[in-house]
Structure 1
């Protein structure tokens, strides 16, 4: 039975999803040293933000297939190293969207009306109304940096308060901006014209330290800043100086570059609202993210691809369902093409015909690459590590579209040779329909002999005689149309894998050239 390690106090609801099919080990306070000692036992790990999955841990994770983060941020997981090892990393991108959105909005309202400071004043026995004169959100301009799920949800809620929305996001399309009724702007324009600024950015090289003394200088005087995304996006010392000078009149922060905050000087200011990373801390969100990631882990362990995989081609669930039926076709074509090549190759080009024009085919190209690499590498190859392995081998993966009426065609090349193989789906089974110039139709199943040969009398009889003497049954045989040189190709599906001696005897038949044996069972290994 596969084993799953549950860390960081992930919700009981997530464990309930998994406990009937897997052996669950819960260690809510597991140290790094203990994790290094036990990680090799497990097929999957599910965690929140407390535990760090480092290279040292991954080096010992010999059976690990998937890491599930019950939440959105994965800064605590070495995704690059996991990718090299073919380990899928999934998160729960939707489970805490509402909680994080509401928390950002709560910070904005708290800044506007000085709610925490007024509460503390009353606790101290005062009734000081004049010190807490606030502002209304109605009519104010909210700048949102990052229009993903949470940024978009915040925009919708702010519009209900009659705020104007300026949005900066390099990946925001005009159509999406129109749908959300936000004004798509350049960063400097958003900074200069916003009364409130809310960050909803991922942590990248571009966003790290984005809010600093230089960007703050471009902002409207008296701006209020909210950050419930990534603490590293703000240079905290620069924000402190701006709050002290009142260039920034207030800041609501839920995330920090270093957590816990440990008495940073910003905690001494009275124009800040600080919370200890509470964005996803609701009962509903904790259940939601745990359950979401549990189902993703279950799918990965069952050999399924999931839309929440962070180190694979990102597809919507709807598009993923469209391309899934072609996974086996793409992988089979890559595997058989690599077998036909029978040598190192430096380019794999995956061509998609008219039947595939409406699909996002990137993941299918990677599946074809997986198949091709499975034939030449001993180590495990999957969707996650195939691109990394190909890069190390100096193999270039290309993709192109065609107006011809076919499904998928794979071209494999080196400096001197090239081959082309084409296939289709029939009754949910993979069929090869063309190899190089030869049109043929055989199922990509079991052990197959591909026999290029001269079209001469007695060829089929000689092949059948050798296989019969070895007690190997021919399950099916397909022969292509003869080309102009009097040559064709035969595909023979066998009941057993022939021995080396049988293979050599077949290869000695006059007129056979380039005999290939392909074990299609390896495609699914």
Structure 2
């Protein structure tokens, strides 16, 4: 008999599979104190939570029988993933259940924003009948810009087209061919901003997307455009949005999420052009039941020895295999992360090549780590070494793995190649005895770089003085160079310069470097 503890409020219909299972004892108690929770989890095989219960290291260490943690929803910020992995506890979530509810809420906010519905209702409640004050705009023939074209973004596009809107979308995984198939226009982020009459964001929140819509972004938009955020607080820079609405640059905004919640006294709420709801995107009866049902089935499946659909943390690997592969985990992930930050365009194909002493082992876990390193640039911690393959597949990315006897003089070699709709780039790395991971080739250029810390990658023409000009400019910004590697194909031809520096490079410095003679591209990254 398996014991499952549910410590947050969940839909009763959603957990019915657990309640009706003959081999499961389900304990539902959403009002446990911390001390009570520590006692209850001690004999539980599984715990299911939403966002209220904090599944800490302390809690996990008090649960010797715990095998699975279920999160009825997408985010796992309230779960200590590292502690769960260390103790062999699988974490699963339910990322699909709120897709429809969030898409529908976005459309409701879009229409309310266009027609000033909340403001007009508020005036009626004040016994005022002011029709002329609330003249709205039609959606027909307007352009909806969608930033983030995953499950929710696609559902929003489908509904917007039903309102006869023009839809233009940007997503780092979206190619023109995929956009055509979805019946929307494909654009760069700048093009989407410039064309949008209404702009809606549907990206995860991570370093790459925090304040993605900021003062500079808003300046690219049409005067009189409107902005929506039913995704994550922090994607939009709220101070910049406040200023833009106040000045009239942005005609209005509809917000379901804020950077800090609850947002009771937020300055944006003082503006009559802004409408808002208290994070209701997933708050439908159907969505709550759907995530509860999904997580119930996954928890039961794992307890019974089956395969789960949405694992979040590391899968198990045999001790023997782990001993051989573990030194390469970091190398594979760092190579993927490095290459993802220098490649341009929407990802279409990833190929990982192995040679040398990796020929006779199952390198699938290493490929997972490489994909994880690549995709985390775009979708953050939502991708991990368990769901990496499925996430890539969902994004339409083809994954290949090949082995070769050619080691180019190294005992072992891992090479990753990324094909996008714009270019093909590659990176190679190895493990050196006593020295650890090294990047030994970027595209066709031989280098020797430790994939760690703050790096500057400069593509330039091989000409005298290039290194000196770069060094002088960095000195002006008090950026100290730790190491420098230069690789070239031939004298006077294409070359690459990779520097490790002591601190993160400011954007102004990067722009000035890019403006130096004979330099074609400058990319700054942190590994």
TM-score when scaled to structure 1? 0.60
Distance 2:33 2:176 in 1: 47
Q: Deviations over 1:364-400 (max 9, x none)?
A: 9779xxxxxxxxxxxxxxx869xxxxxxxxxxxxx94
2:95 to 93, 96, 112: 93
SS for the counterpart of 1:143 is strand
SS for the counterpart of 2:239 is helix
* Contact map agreement 1:17 1:295 (CA 8 A) in 2: yes
Q: Deviations over 1:431-472 (max 9, x none)?
A: xxxxxxxxxxxxxxxxxxxxxxxxxxxxxxxxxxxxxxxxxx
Name the stretch that deviates more: 298-307 or 99-108: 298-307
Q: Which residue of 1 aligns with 2:374?
A: none
Q: Which residue of 2 aligns with 1:420?
A: none
Distance 1:143 1:295, change over 3 A: same
Distance 1:237 1:87, change over 3 A: farther
Q: Which residue of 1 aligns with 2:13?
A: 13
The reply to whether residue 105 of structure 1 matches residue 127 of structure 2 is: no
CA drift at 1:226: 1.0
SS for the counterpart of 1:165 is strand
Distance 1:30 1:233, change over 3 A: farther
Q: Which residue of 1 aligns with 2:201?
A: 199
SS for the counterpart of 1:118 is helix
5+ residue gaps in structure 2?
A: 333-351, 355-361, 370-384, 388-399, 406-411, 413-429, 434-527
How many equivalent residue pairs? 354
Distance 2:29 2:205 in 1: 28
The reply to whether residue 70 of structure 1 matches residue 106 of structure 2 is: no
Q: Which residue of 2 aligns with 1:227?
A: 229
Distance 2:175 2:61 in 1: 40
2:127 to 110, 117, 125: 125
5+ residue gaps in structure 1?
A: 314-326, 353-359, 368-382, 386-398, 405-410, 417-525
CA drift at 1:80: 4.2
Q: Which residue of 2 aligns with 1:302?
A: 304
Output aligned runs, 1:129-144, within 5 Å: 129-144=131-146
* Contact map agreement 2:201 2:228 (CA 8 A) in 1: yes
Q: Deviations over 1:155-210 (max 9, x none)?
A: 01111111111111102244321211122221122112211111111121111222
SS for the counterpart of 2:275 is strand
Q: Deviations over 1:493-521 (max 9, x none)?
A: xxxxxxxxxxxxxxxxxxxxxxxxxxxxx
Distance 2:38 2:49 in 1: 15
- Output the aligned Cα RMSD: 3.5
Structure having the higher Rg: 1
Q: Which residue of 1 aligns with 2:155?
A: 153
SS for the counterpart of 1:224 is strand
CA drift at 1:13: 1.9
Q: Which residue of 2 aligns with 1:188?
A: 190
Output aligned runs, 1:177-326, within 5 Å: 177-311=179-313
SS for the counterpart of 1:231 is coil
Distance 1:81 1:184 in 2: 41
* Contact map agreement 1:41 1:63 (CA 8 A) in 2: yes
Distance 1:302 1:102, change over 3 A: same
Distance 1:175 1:42, change over 3 A: farther
* Contact map agreement 1:96 1:280 (CA 8 A) in 2: yes
